[in-house]
Chains A and B, each alone.
Chain A
């Protein structure tokens, strides 16, 4: 006999994974549009964001209904974690949209001749998103914990990009407008990594019933 509650949980998981794949695609495409100065792709990312927003609402609705059925222990954690992960995915979608918007504007202006490590930032942030979702699927808290310190690397790159752009703006005031677009895009990548870290922390809670938010040092160990 099928366990109907488990089937409900499975539907929730599937929906969350579909949403995740849309969010990942949005980030991928927004970065691609930025690097390739592809205005059409940027416009598409913005249009697809509505879909991700809709997923967040649907997942919340499914979760609320599952909560009325009084799940307990790991089932209870799964439902609440799903709501939080979907919120983080929705924000990842928003950041992708911000990148796409900057990319659309930058594509209409001449390129800034400057060497930024944005592709590396994007690669790191995207890998964090992917790995955090894999850790959710595998229910692997060891893998989830390993993601958390990687956020610092993205933060450091963002700081570096910020410094290079500030310097460039001082030396080339005519590029300030374009450089500001790049600063916002880099900040969005940094935020995407933050959301991936949040997802990883939720996976640890899901697997271990331990709330590790605001307690981890940069090396992934716990604060005293």
Chain B
């Protein structure tokens, strides 16, 4: 697989992820059915749809996170900058380093300090050099717009931060290992409007350097932060287009009904 450090040189017009005929099953039940789409690099792609439509499963399949469920299996193909992430010789842990994830509920390691939380991924990868760890801490916290708020208390427990700050810390933790793609599963749904607005502004900052895929229940949030939107319904990809098109003149009636709140 290509080294993570080289992704910034890749032209923004090349898709970061190419998904072809992806189906994900839990036992006999198909949660995602035959989905194909291209995730554009250095852009934000939003996944919307009612609960149970398969959007989180789809997101998790993008970094093989769904495999943590022993009943899960997939069909189809996902390529990350040309590399088949399900190829037999690819370790899931390598995929997850290249495709980071931020969850709905902020989950900093409660016994660790702020800086330890940021560098945990690096340390697990064997990086011990303090200079590198410090540099990466500052860089990641700056990128997640948290540095100014925590620079004087890097050794305070992570759980002393507010909910919104904890979520930005989780984003910093994901960024510290320098992923190529950042997956976000409803990253602001547990936050108040101000913290939500900070996360949204952060997403728009990060897309200059990263490819972002975000699952959200909040249609206006998708409209505010994303360039492309995919609408899922009962495991199927109903419509995928520019966010502008999806929210002003969707092609499918089902999409129109969902974004205008008639069902879902």
Q: Give the interface of A toward B (CB within 8 A).
A: 1-5, 64-65, 68-70
Q: In the complex, A199→B220 CA distance in Å?
A: 29
For A5, give the chain B residue with the smallest CB separation: B224
Shortest Cβ distance from B200 into A: residue: A4
B200 to chain A, nearest CB (A): 7
Q: Which residue of A lies closest to B244 (CB)?
A: A65
Contact partner, A1, options B205, B244, B247, Cβ 8 Å: B205
Contacts A1-B145, A4-B224, A70-B220 given; indicate if A65 touches B248 (C-beta within 8 A).
Answer: yes
Q: Interface on chain B toward A: helix, strand, loop, or mixed SS? A: helix
Contacting pair B247 A68 (CB below 8 A): yes
Chain B, residues 212-245, CB within 8 Å of chain A (1/0): the string is: 0000000010011000000000000000000010
Q: Within the assembled complex, what's the spacing in Å between the Cα atoms of A64 and B243? A: 12
B223 in contact with A69 (CB, 8 Å)? yes
Interface residues of B in 152-193 (CB under 8 A from A): none
23 residue pairs bridging A and B, Cβ less than 8 Å apart = A1-B145, A1-B201, A1-B202, A1-B205, A2-B201, A2-B205, A3-B197, A4-B200, A4-B201, A4-B204, A4-B224, A5-B197, A64-B248, A65-B244, A65-B248, A68-B220, A68-B244, A69-B220, A69-B223, A69-B224, A70-B220, A70-B223, A70-B224
User: Smallest CB-CB separation from B145: which chain A residue?
Assistant: A1
Q: Which residues of A contact B145 (CB under 8 A)?
A: 1
Per CB-CB distance, the 5 closest pairs between chain A and chain B, nearest first, are A70-B220, A68-B223, A68-B247, A69-B224, A1-B145
Q: Which of B220, B224, B248 has the largest count of A CB atoms less than 10 A from its CB?
A: B224
CA distance A2 to B223 in the complex (A): 18
Number of interface residues of B (CB under 8 A): 14
B198 to chain A, nearest CB (A): 7
Distance, CA A171 to CA B220, complexed state (A) = 66
Residues of A within 8 A of B224 (CB): 4-5, 69-70
- A93–B224 Cα gap in the complex (Å)? 33
Q: Among A4, A64, A65, find the residue whose CB has the most chain B CB atoms closer than 10 A.
A: A4
Given contacts A68-B244, A68-B248, 13 further A-B contacts (CB under 8 A): A1-B198, A1-B205, A3-B201, A4-B200, A4-B201, A4-B204, A4-B224, A5-B197, A68-B247, A69-B220, A69-B223, A69-B224, A70-B223
Task: For the complex, give the distance between the alpha carbons of A65 and B211 in Å.
Answer: 22
* Complex Cα spacing A4 to B197, Å: 9
Bound: A179/B13 CA distance, A = 62
CA distance A133 to B94 in the complex (A): 58
Tell me the complex Cα distance, A69–B222, Å.
Answer: 8
Shortest distance from the beta carbon of A59 to any chain B beta carbon, whole Å: 15
* Residues of the A chain whose Cβ atoms lie less than 8 Å from the Cβ of B204: 4
Chain B residues, Cβ within 8 Å of A64: 248
- A68 surroundings in chain B (CB, below 8 A): 220, 223, 244, 247-248
Which residue of A has the minimal Cβ distance to B148?
A: A1
A1 and chain B: residue at smallest CB distance: B145
Name the residue on A nearest B224 (C-beta): A69
Cα separation A4 to B200 with both chains bound (whole Å) = 8
**Assembly CA distance A70 to B205 (angstroms):** 20
Q: Which residues of the other chain, B, contact A65 by a CB distance below 8 angstroms?
A: 244, 248
In the complex formed, the residue of B with least CB distance to A65 is B244
How many whole Å from A114's CB to the nearest CB in chain B?
53
Q: How far is the CB of A5 from chain B (nearest CB, A)?
A: 7
